[in-house]
Structure 1
Amino acid sequence: MIGTTISHYKILEKLGEGGMGVVYKAQDTKLDRIVALKFLPHYLHASEDEKVRFLQEAKAVATLNHPNICVIHDIKEEEGKNFIVMEFVEGMTLREKLSQAPIAVKEAVTYAVQIGEALEEAHSKGIVHRDIKSDNIMVNKKNQIKVMDFGLAKLKGALKLTKTTSTVGTLGYMAPEQIQGGEIDARSDIFSFGVVLFEMLTSRLPFRGEHEAAMMYSVLNEEPQPIQKYIPDISSEFVHILNRALEKDPENRYQTAADLRSDLKRLKRDTAAKPHSALSTLASAAPVDTTVSESGLSESDPEIVQFTSFTKASISLAVLGILGALAAGLFYHKSAVGSELKLQCPEVVALSKAREVVAEFRADATGLKSNATFRATFLDLNLVSSKAGIEETRRAIRDGNATCWKVDITKSGERYKNIPCCPLGGFSIWIDHRGRLVSYETPVRDSATGTALTNEQAIAFAQEVARRKFALDTTGYDMEIVRRSSPPGLAEITWRNRDPVFGHKEILRANIQGSKLIKLSRLLEPTEEWREKKNQGSDALWNAGRAVVVLASFATFVFGLVVLIRGKSWNPLRGRLPMVTSILITIGLLFEAQTASVFDFVFDAFFSVILGFTCFTTFAGLFEWLRISNLVRLYGAEQLVAGRLSARAVAASLIHGSLAGLLCVGIEKSLKSLMSMVPGYLPSISELIGIIESGPLVSAYPVAFVILLVVETAVVVELAEKLFRKRILALLIPALLLPILFLATERQENLTVLLIGFLSRFLIALVMVYIYRSYGFAATWLLMIVSTLFDLAISSRSVQDPSFVFQSNMLLVLIALLLTLGAWGYMRTRVIQSLKTLNSEQ
Structure 2
Amino acid sequence: MIGQEIGNYQIVSRLGHGAMGEVFLGRHKYLLRKVAIKTIFTEGVDTHVLRTLRQRFGQEGYVQSQLRHDHIVQVEDFIVQEEAYYLVLEYMPGYIRPGNVVIRSVADELQIEARPIPSPRALSLFKQILQALDYAHNKEFDIRGKPHTGIIHRDIKPANFLFADQATVKLGDFGIVKVSGLGAGTRTGFNPGTYAYMSPEAREGKLLDARSDVYSLGASLYEMLIEQTAFAMSGVRHLPPMIGGMEAPWVRKLRAEAPEMVADFILRALQEHPDDRFPSVSQMLTELERVEMLLATEGSEIYPVALSERVPGSEGPAVRRQRERSKSEPDTYADTRPASEVVPKRLEIPPAPAPAEPPPTRLEIQSPPAPAEPPPTRLESSPPPARVESEKPAPAPPTPAERLRVVIQKINLPWALAGVAVVVAALIVHDRFIPPPPPPVLSTQVAV
TM > 0.5 fold call = yes
Percent identity over paired residues = 30
For 1:839 and 1:12, the matched residues in 2 are separated by 58
Residue 15 (structure 1) aligns with? 15
Give 1:271 deviation, angstroms: 2.8
Work out whether residues 11 and 27 of structure 1, in 8 Å CA contact, stay in contact via their aligned partners in 2: yes
Deviations, residues 331-383 of structure 1 (Å, cap 9, x unaligned): xxxxxxxxxxxxxxxxxxxxxxxxxxxxxxxxxxxxxxxxxxxxxxxxxxxxx
Between the aligned partners of 2:159 and 2:238, the Cα distance in structure 1 is 22
- 2:135 counterpart SS class: helix
Q: CA deviation at 1:238?
A: 1.3
- 8 Å contact kept, 1:20–1:151: no
CA contact (8 A) 2:153 2:177 kept: yes
Aligned counterpart, 1:134: 158
> TM-score of the superposition, structure 2-length normalised?
0.59
What is the CA-CA distance between 1:265 and the residue it aligns to? Answer: 1.4
Q: Distance in 1 between matches of 2:293 and 2:119?
A: 13
TM-score (norm 1): 0.32
- Partner SS state of residue 48, structure 1: helix
| Cα distance, 1:62 vs structure 2 | 1.1
Among residues 94, 100, 124, which one is paired with 2:138 in the alignment? 124
Match of 1:234, as an amino acid?
Answer: A
Provide the residue aligned with 2:128 in structure 1.
114
- Alignment length (residue pairs): 286
Q: Identify if the C-alpha distance between structure 1 residues 148 and 34 changes in structure 2 by more than 3 Å, giving closer, same or farther.
A: same
Which residue is equivalent to 1:33? 33
1:76 Cα offset (Å): 1.3
**Cα-to-partner distance string for 1:119-169 (whole Å, 9 max, x where unaligned):** 111111221110111111112324211111111111234565234732321
1:138 touches 1:146 (CA, 8 Å); kept in 2?
A: yes
Aligned with 2:106 (options 94, 102, 109) = 94
Contact 2:242/2:272 (<8 A) preserved: no
> Is contact 1:20–1:54 with CA below 8 Å preserved after alignment?
no
Contact 1:208–1:214 (CA under 8 A) maintained in structure 2: no
Task: Report if the CA contact (8 A) 2:56-2:176 is conserved.
Answer: no
Within 5 Å, give how 1:344-359 maps onto structure 2: none
Matches within 5 A, 1:337-348: none
How many Å apart are 1:257 and its aligned residue? 0.4
Structure 1 residue 40: Cα displacement: 1.7
**In the superposition, relative to structure 1, how do residues 163 and 155 fare at CA in structure 2: closer, same or farther (>3 Å)?**
farther
**What residue is the counterpart of 1:245 in the other structure?**
269
* Distance in 1 separating the partners of 2:60 and 2:179: 8
Q: Is the 8 A contact 1:208 1:218 kept in 2?
A: no
> For residue 132 of structure 2, what is the amino acid of its counterpart?
A
Contact 1:172 1:219 in 2 (8 A): no
Please name the residue that 1:166 is paired with.
Answer: 190
Change (3 A) 1:61 1:143: same
2:51 to 45, 48, 52: 48
Alpha carbons of structure 1 residues 65 and 216: separation in structure 2 relative to 1, 3 Å? farther
Task: Indicate the structure with greater helix content.
Answer: 1
**Counterpart in 1 of 2:88?**
85
Tell me how far apart the structure 2 counterparts of residues 136 and 77 of structure 1 sit (CA, whole Å): 25
The structural deviation recorded for 1:274 is: 3.6
Q: Report the 3-state secondary structure (helix = DSSP H, G, I; strand = E; otherwise coil) of the residue aligned with 2:193.
A: coil
TM-superposed CA distance for 1:212, in Å, is 3.5
Deviations 1:637-659, CA, capped at 9 Å, x for gaps: xxxxxxxxxxxxxxxxxxxxxxx
Report the residue type matching 2:167 in the other structure: N
Taking the aligned partners of 2:240 and 2:109, their CA distance within structure 1 comes to 26
Q: Deviations over 1:439-470 (max 9, x none)?
A: xxxxxxxxxxxxxxxxxxxxxxxxxxxxxxxx
Q: Is the 8 A contact 1:164 1:183 kept in 2?
A: no
Which residue among 278, 281, 300 is the counterpart of 1:254? Answer: 278
Deviation at 1:217? 5.4
Q: Which amino acid aligns with 2:121?
A: E
Q: Distance in 1 between matches of 2:278 and 2:353?
A: 29
Letter in 2 for 1:81: A
Q: What secondary structure is seen at the aligned counterpart in 1 of 2:207?
A: coil
- The structure showing larger relative contact order (alpha-carbon pairs under 8 Å, at least 6 residues apart) is 1
- The answer (yes or no) to whether the contact 2:200–2:241 under 8 Å persists in 1 is no
Following the alignment from structure 2 to structure 1, what is the Cα–Cα distance between the partners of residues 108 and 244? 28
Q: How far off is 1:71 after superposition?
A: 0.4
CA distance in 1, matches of 2:353, 2:131: 31
When residues 211 and 35 of structure 1 are mapped into structure 2, their CA distance, relative to the original with a 3 A threshold, is same
Match of 1:766 in 2: none
Which structure has the bigger radius of gyration? 2
**What is the 5 A alignment of 1:319-718?**
none
Q: CA contact under 8 A between 1:106 and 1:268: conserved in structure 2?
A: no
Shift of 1:210: 1.1
- Equivalent residue of 2:85, what SS? strand
Post-superposition offset of 1:10: 0.5
Q: Pick closer, same or farther for the CA change 1:129–1:121 going to 2, 3 Å.
A: same
* 1:66 to partner: Cα distance: 0.9
Over 3 Å counting, the alpha-carbon distance change for 1:839 and 1:155 in structure 2 is: farther
Q: Which residue of 216, 226, 230 corresponds with 1:202? A: 226
Q: Kindly state the Cα deviation for residue 245 of structure 1 after the two structures are TM-superposed.
A: 0.4
Q: Partner of 1:76 in structure 2? A: 79
SS at match of 1:114: helix
Which segments of 5 or more consecutive residues in structure 1 lack a partner in the other structure?
278-301, 305-836
Q: CA deviation at 1:96?
A: 1.1
Offset, 1:113: 0.9
Contact 2:60 2:176 in 1 (8 A): yes
SS at match of 2:191: coil
Using the alignment, how far apart are the partners of 1:217 and 1:253 within structure 2? 17
Structure 1 residue 841, shift from structure 2 partner: 8.8
Q: How does 1:722-801 map to 2 (within 5 A)?
A: none
Taking a change above 3 Å as real, the CA distance of residues 172 and 254 of structure 1, as seen in their structure-2 partners, is same
Equivalent-residue separation in structure 1 for 2:169 and 2:158 (angstroms): 11
Cα distance in 2 between the residues matched to 1:124 and 1:69:
14
**Equivalent position of 1:330 in the other structure:** none
Deviation for aligned residue 1:116: 0.8
> Relative to structure 1, is the Cα distance of residues 72 and 260 closer, same or farther in structure 2, using a 3 angstrom cutoff?
same
The CA distance in 1 between the partners of 2:354 and 2:170, in whole Å, is 37
1:83 Cα offset (Å):
0.8
Q: Matched residues in 2 for 1:217 and 1:162: separation?
A: 19
Q: What is the CA–CA distance in structure 1 between the aligned matches of 2:259 and 2:174, rounded to whole Å?
A: 33
Report Cα offsets for 1:584-639 as digits up to 9, x if no partner.
xxxxxxxxxxxxxxxxxxxxxxxxxxxxxxxxxxxxxxxxxxxxxxxxxxxxxxxx
Q: Distance in 1 between matches of 2:291 and 2:138?
A: 23
Q: What does residue range 134-153 of structure 1 map to in structure 2 within 5 Å?
A: 134-153=158-177
Secondary structure of 1:13's counterpart equals: strand
Change (3 A) 1:194 1:53: same
1 CA distance for matches of 2:78 and 2:353? Answer: 53
Q: Cα RMSD over matched residues?
A: 2.6
**Mapped pair 1:226 → 2:253:** no
